[in-house]
Structure 1
Amino acid sequence: MAARAGRPSGASCVRELTYVTAALPQPLPNGRRFHHRSGRLVRRFCLAAECGGDSGPRGVPDDAQDWALRHTGRTGHDLFRREYTDHARVTRHE
């Protein structure tokens, strides 16, 4: 292996960095922010053929669950996809 200019052959430059992640509050579709401690959005989608039912993004998991229960009561549909979304910012910690 050929040496690079300015660096002796076989030498390497390693710098150890520590990174941390922090959950960010999720913006709701209307632009407002919610302040739920989990920092994530929860959503339920009805999987019945041609239904298309969707709880919409909710900041509190119980709200999405309540929507699914009401939807089942109205329609009889009983299969849902659960989706959890969150964002995290990674920053260098020195």
Structure 2
Amino acid sequence: MPDSAFKCISLRDMACTERELLRWLGVMETLFEPAGREAAVWSFKLNGGHARIAWSPLPDRVIALVRLKRLEVRLECEQSVPDDEARRFVFEFDRHTQRGGG
């Protein structure tokens, strides 16, 4: 999926199911105009270009009897997107996907 027009702005190993990720992407669509959906890639319009979130399954994380689903999630922006807009995109993704702890 690498494309020279896009740069990776964040690569994540996320303990979640695809269903959870799709719910979070639905929230992202309320914040950023959707630009398209493919099997495992959703695109969004940003000031200065486009961003996309792509994912692929990773092996489950196993801790004793617990099995956690995992996805590799890649956030990318077109080279033309200003750095502050790319940071805002990552911030909003983080704001809606990070879970509390402790």
TM-score, scaled to structure 2: 0.29
Judging by fraction of residues, say which structure has more strand: 2
TM-score between both structures, scaled by the size of structure 1: 0.31
Structure whose residues are more often helix by fraction: 2
